[in-house]
Amino acid sequence: MKILIFAFLVLVFFPFLMIQSFSVGEEETLGVDLKNYSEIIITAVSGSSVPGCEDIANGCYAPTSSIANVGEKILFSNMDDAAHTFTSGNVQNGPNGIFDSSLISPGDSYEWIPKIVNEYPYFCMVHPWMIGLIIVEGIEEETQVVEEETQVVEEETQVVEEETQGNLTLIKKISTDAPNSPARNSYGVAVSMDGRVYVADAGNDDIRIYDKEGNFISKFGGACHIEGYTPVKRIDKSLTCFDPDGDGPLEIGDGQFDRLYGIAMDKNDTLFVADTDNHRMQVFDSDGNFLFKFGTYCKMSDGSNCFDPDGDGPLEIGDGQMYYSYSLKIDNQDRVIVADRDNHRIQVFDSDGNFLFKFGQPGSNPGEFNAPYDVAVDSIGKIYVADAFNKRIQVFDSDGKFIKQFGAEGNGNGEFNVPISVATDSKDNLFVSDVFNHRIQVFDSDGKFLNKFGSLGPNDGQFHTPRQIIVDNKDQLYVIDRQNSRVQVFTYTDNPPIDIKLNKEIYENGDLVKISGEIKNYKKEYSTSLEIKEYFGKTVLNEEIPINKDGKFSVSFEIPLNKNVTSYNLYLYTGSIGNEISASNTIFMKNLSSDNTDAEQSTDIISKIIKKIKSVWYSIKNYFNN
């Protein structure tokens, strides 16, 4: 009888076993010595920190796709002159936690050993156009799979939805393209006192100027890599450097950039620019005329090019020097606060570029940093640091003394998937660009979560890897929406401008829905309309509604009979042209709960079937192995 069963199993499952044997290889057996496997090397190629490598055949990694065996060591090596990460996941959804090198300096490497057969996409969190794929084949480490039938007891918990505060309203959008020069990695944004908008485009090595309506005015800059700082790139930008004034006081490369990122303007409309890959700050007037520069290359981790700026004076080696300084902000004392990213510290200068003090060092303890990308300062001088790869915000007093930290890795309220930029408004609300969660989060000055806005996408109010954020003198929030090649501009109000209430929680066909509420700061010239749509269906109501002088409203809607609709979406729009605000609510129908019950039962049945199939498969696999 056993022979007949064996023959039956061979006939049914032989094709699957053949597929598995071809993918595993002839020499693999249970208990294989994984240490005997070879090493695979993946490099971030020279020049990959500049957009464009993704468009060539060889890609940004060498090789772009790799095939490895389980247990085979994979060595990620950074051969570029910029810092990179090797992070499993993708740009759309961010890191998935399988492996993450964190920030790797030029010449350094990171090891990872896969243990499970699978495909592993990865990318660089600093330069998201860099993507690669690792295909892991072969045998997985021997594990005992035990399928036990267990009774799952769900604890009865009370789910309390966290109350949110404030509302973000889109007021305008600005394209970061320029005539004959599409945006190629916009990162930084600044606004002058008269409303002109400045955008730093790292891929084009220039700064674009727009008027307050978003119309392009001019641009300045150009590519130049200062020789002697770091190795020459794949695209040799040292060949495009020039002396802007011949025999004058300016030097070669003044006013040119190599991947500029964060920018900031002071109250006198002086523009400070983080010339990141030249490891310096450059300073301009509001028309783009070069004024002065400060900072030179110094890699603190190994002392490369570091020096003591004042000999036997109070300063120390490396003070005032930088290593991929990424962004900066100006405080209310006109101090220039620089995020010296790859030296994992914050440096503070006066408005003339003279070094004042520093704080921070590499690490994950309070007061330590893992790639600080940006800083913000509130009205009393507290300094907020976007400690990007530690996935947190740290808070310091105006002298750099640690106060507190908040945040953790994740996508929940108050959690981050790489906080890359921070900004404060006049009320000391803190805005955080949560880059791979594709959203903006808002906190009070104590770090209490207030609200979150945005999701992945190209629509109004959505983001694709938002970068630097700033707040102008009118309390308008500017967000660099990098992959969508635009700046989105918002106003933030502390309380929701529209409050909508319904008279019931669940409705039936033919019920009368009473809709009431209040519009904060309502003005008589506002036009207000109500739209109701079937869920994934047609519009059933769209008309203007009356609002009293206090901004309050009350209207009714009768739900149609003989409709099989699970819910209706309700939208209320009000405001003036160019400054429209909206709010929404949902009318839930009684049959929605029963539909969910049916769906849950179907899902449960399918889950049990899949579980039984897996159990049978493991039994057959063990039968053949034994």
List all residues 6 or more positions away from 194 whose beta carbon is below 8 Å from its beta carbon. Answer: 212
How many CA atoms are closer than 13 Å to the CA of 533, on its beta-carbon side? 9
**C-alpha angle with apex 304: 298 to 310, nearest 5 degrees?**
55
List all residues 6 or more positions away from 421 whose beta carbon is below 8 Å from its beta carbon. Answer: 262, 327, 373, 374, 386, 432, 433, 466, 467, 468, 469
pTM over cut 0.75: no
Hey, how many other C-beta atoms are within 10 angstroms of the C-beta on 451?
19
Specify the 3-state DSSP secondary structure of 221: strand
Highest mean pLDDT among 178-182, 310-314, 474-478: 474-478
Q: Are 61 and 42 in contact (CB under 8 A)?
A: yes
What gap in Å lies between CA 321 and CA 569, rounded to an integer? 56
Query: Where along the chain do its domains lie?
Result: 31-142, 167-307+316-493, 498-589
Beta strands in 204-330 (DSSP E): 206-210, 216-221, 260-265, 271-275, 280-284, 290-294, 327-330
Q: How far is CA 535 from CA 543, 561, 589, 594, in A?
A: 18, 16, 11, 16
Concatenate the DSSP letters of all residues of 237-256 into one string.
GGGG---TTTTSS--TTTT-
To which H or E segment does residue 612 belong?
Answer: helix 591-625
Q: Give the pair of three-digit tokens for residue 566.
A: 């699970």
Write down the pLDDT at residue 17: 36
Residue 339 has pLDDT above 90, yes or no: yes
What gap in Å lies between CA 73 and CA 555, rounded to an integer? 67
For the chain, give the percent of residues with pLDDT over 70.
80
Q: Could you give the dihedral angle defined by the CA atoms of residues 123, 128, 130 and 131, in that order, rounded to the nearest 10 degrees?
A: 40
Between 283-292, 305-314, 447-456, the lowest mean confidence (pLDDT) is in 305-314
Q: Are 416 and 432 in contact (CB under 8 A)?
A: yes
Residues in the chain: 626
Residue appearing with tokens 């609002």: 547
pLDDT digits (tens, 9 = 90+) for 456-476: 999 989 999 999 999 999 999
What gap in Å lies between CA 359 and CA 341, rounded to an integer? 12
Hey, how many other C-beta atoms are within 10 angstroms of the C-beta on 472?
20
Q: Are 591 and 599 in contact (CB under 8 A)?
A: no
List all residues 6 or more positions away from 102 whose beta carbon is below 8 Å from its beta carbon. Answer: 85, 370, 371, 389
Residue appearing with tokens 């790139």: 233
Q: Are 266 and 230 in contact (CB under 8 A)?
A: no
Concatenate the DSSP letters of all residues of 105-169 into one string.
-TT-EEEE---S-EEEEEE-SSSTT-EEEEEEESPPPP------------------PPP---EEE
580: nearest Cα among 478, 490, 469: 490
Residue 91 has pLDDT above 90, yes or no: no
Looking at CATH, the fold of the domain delimited by 498-589 is given as Immunoglobulin-like (2.60.40)
Mean per-residue pLDDT, 527-555: 87
Between 136-140, 233-237, 242-246, the lowest mean confidence (pLDDT) is in 233-237
pLDDT digits (tens, 9 = 90+) for 516-539: 998 877 878 788 889 998 876 788
Q: How far is CA 501 from CA 514, 527, 540, in A?
A: 8, 20, 19
Q: What is the CATH number of domain 167-307+316-493?
A: 2.120.10.30
Q: How far is CA 428 from CA 424, 441, 445, 446, 447, in A?
A: 5, 14, 6, 9, 11
What gap in Å lies between CA 559 and CA 541, rounded to an integer? 11
Write down the pLDDT at residue 158: 41
Q: How far is CA 584 from CA 505, 533, 539, 574, in A?
A: 15, 11, 14, 12
Q: How far is CA 70 from CA 23, 25, 99, 158, in A?
A: 12, 12, 15, 44
Say yes or no: do domains 167-307+316-493 and 498-589 share a fold: no
Q: Give the pair of three-digit tokens for residue 626.
A: 């034994």
Looking at CATH, the fold of the domain delimited by 31-142 is given as Immunoglobulin-like (2.60.40)
pLDDT tier at 217, thresholds 50, 70, 90: very high
Supply the DSSP symbol for 468: E
pLDDT digits (tens, 9 = 90+) for 136-148: 876 444 333 333 3
List all residues 6 or more positions away from 218 whose beta carbon is below 8 Å from its beta carbon. Answer: 208, 209, 288
The pairs formed by 308-311 with CB atoms below 8 angstroms and a separation of 24 or more are 309/355
To which H or E segment does residue 491 belong?
Answer: strand 486-493
Mean per-residue pLDDT, 105-113: 84
Residue 302 has pLDDT above 60, yes or no: yes
The pairs formed by 162-165 with CB atoms below 8 angstroms and a separation of 24 or more are 162/413, 162/449, 164/450, 164/451, 164/452, 165/450, 165/451, 165/494, 165/495, 165/496
Q: Give the pair of three-digit tokens for residue 583.
A: 């709010």
Question: Residue 305 carries which side chain, given as an amino acid letter?
Answer: N
pLDDT digits (tens, 9 = 90+) for 267-278: 999 999 999 999
Hey, how many other C-beta atoms are within 10 angstroms of the C-beta on 571?
16
Specify the 3-state DSSP secondary structure of 354: coil
Residue 25 has pLDDT above 50, yes or no: no
Mean per-residue pLDDT, 374-389: 97
Residue 60 has pLDDT above 50, yes or no: yes
